[in-house]
Amino acid sequence: MRVVTDPGEFSALCRQDRCAGLITALVPTMGYFHAGHLSLMDHARSRAGRVYVSLFVNPTQFGPGEDLAAYPRDLDRDAALAESRGVDLLFAPEPGAMYAPDHATVVQVPALAEHLCGQSRPVHFQGVATVVAKLLILAAPSLAVFGQKDWQQLALVRRMARDLFLPTEILGRPIVREQDGLAMSSRNVYLTPEERAQAPQIRAGLLLVRERYAAGERDPAALRQVLAAHLAERLPLGAPDYLEFVDRDSIQPVAAADERTLAAVAVRLGRARLIDNIILAGDEVE
Ligand code: AMP
């Protein structure tokens, strides 16, 4: 596996692969890999002749007071893990290489950033859209693979790629979880043992909501109440940031839940802010 830090070099290597007629896939990440990241790499490997992983803790998607400085980093460990999954090229640029001192261009997808994480993290999705656009332009991959854990991000990247005629197919992959149901996240390392013990209740609450939907409940306010009550009782260390019911593609709140509805949650738990989601009519196995 080759590791490159220079955007021009990354772009040139990707171009060579394209010109050789290879199907190429990019997995954008912020590193500190866990099994969720590795599942995206495995999927990319199964679909493409060349697999690229970008590892970049993108400063523009962190707001003031967020965890940019504290975000966990371990390039050597990540490089070894990526190599073990058959990744061909790891692109790990410095912030200064991705953003010139006088950089002035941003990408916004406002309609997809109005709700959920867009509310509590106002600059977040502009940062995400801008950096993902840069990465997709540099690599011009046939495919780019994202996790459904960040469902809103996936929906927004899909819309951006379509709107800008980017020549990349955007793929979403299922959430990888710990045995007790907690969605894997690089930020789970922030949790104390007590917080970690309560964290799986986020998933448990979402499953409860899915059960109520299956039993016929369609009122988002009633479903929200089920989730809020569950979290208040079982996750007392957590403070919900949002509990929302939105259309899976438009990320707009629904008046009545249906098979396209996504239940999405963010909870502040100690130093961490954890997100999770579920399609109400989904049949994912536990
Ligand atoms: P991050 O490094 O957290 O920015 O995530 C990089 C990619 O991995 C994004 O597409 C995430 O949605 C995806 N990802 C993060 N956690 C998980 C998980 N538990 N399961 C599946 N994909 C994930």
Order of strands, sheet of 238-247, starting from the edge strand that comes earlier in the sequence: 238-247, 261-269, 272-279
Instruction: Work out the mean pLDDT of the chain and round it to a whole number.
Output: 97
pLDDT > 70 in the chain, percent: 99
How far apart, in Å, are the Cα atoms of 83 and each of 4, 45, 57, 86, 190?
Answer: 14, 12, 20, 5, 26
Residue 285: what pLDDT? 56
Does residue 159 contact residue 114 with C-beta atoms inside 8 Å?
no
Is 115 an annotated catalytic residue?
no
Residue 185: what pLDDT? 97
Contacts by 118-124, CB closer than 8 A, 24 or more apart: 118/152, 119/242, 120/241, 120/242, 120/266, 121/63, 121/66, 122/63, 123/60, 123/61, 123/62, 123/63, 124/61, 124/62, 124/63
Distance CA 279, CA 200 (A): 18
Return the half-sphere exposure (C-beta side, CA atoms, 13 A cut-off) of residue 198: 20
Mutate to test the pocket of ligand 1, among 29, 73, 81, 273 (most ligand atoms within 8 A of CB): 29
How far apart, in Å, are the Cα atoms of 75 and each of 6, 33, 124, 247?
Answer: 16, 10, 24, 37
Residue with tokens 């919900």: 240
Residue 286: what pLDDT? 54
- Closest by Cα among 274, 53, 266, 264 to 178: 274
Could you read off the pLDDT of 182-241 as tens digits, one per residue?
Answer: 999 999 999 999 999 999 999 999 999 999 999 999 999 999 999 999 999 999 999 999
**Residues within 6 Å of ligand 1 by CB:** 29-30, 36-37, 39-40, 146-147, 149-150, 173, 175-176, 183-186
Residue 185 Cα to ligand 1 middle (Å): 7
Q: Interior CA angle at 8 toward 92 and 110, to 5°?
A: 70
pTM: 0.98
For residue 187, give the ligand 1 atom closest to its CA. Answer: 3
Choosing from 34, 37, 43, 103, which is the catalytic residue?
Answer: 37
User: Which residues make Cβ contacts (< 8 Å) with residue 113, sequence separation at least 6?
Assistant: 124, 125, 126, 152, 156
Mutate to test the pocket of ligand 1, among 150, 158, 173 (most ligand atoms within 8 A of CB): 150
Distance CA 34, CA 46 (A): 19
Residue nearest to atom 13 of ligand 1 (CA): 147
Order of strands, sheet of 169-173, starting from the edge strand that comes earlier in the sequence: 2-4, 89-91, 50-55, 24-29, 143-147, 169-173
Residue 169 Cα to ligand 1 middle (Å): 18
Residue nearest to atom 17 of ligand 1 (CA): 36
Q: What is the DSSP letter of 217?
A: -
Could you read off the pLDDT of 244-259 as tens digits, one per residue?
Answer: 999 999 999 999 999 9
Does residue 183 contact residue 203 with C-beta atoms inside 8 Å?
yes
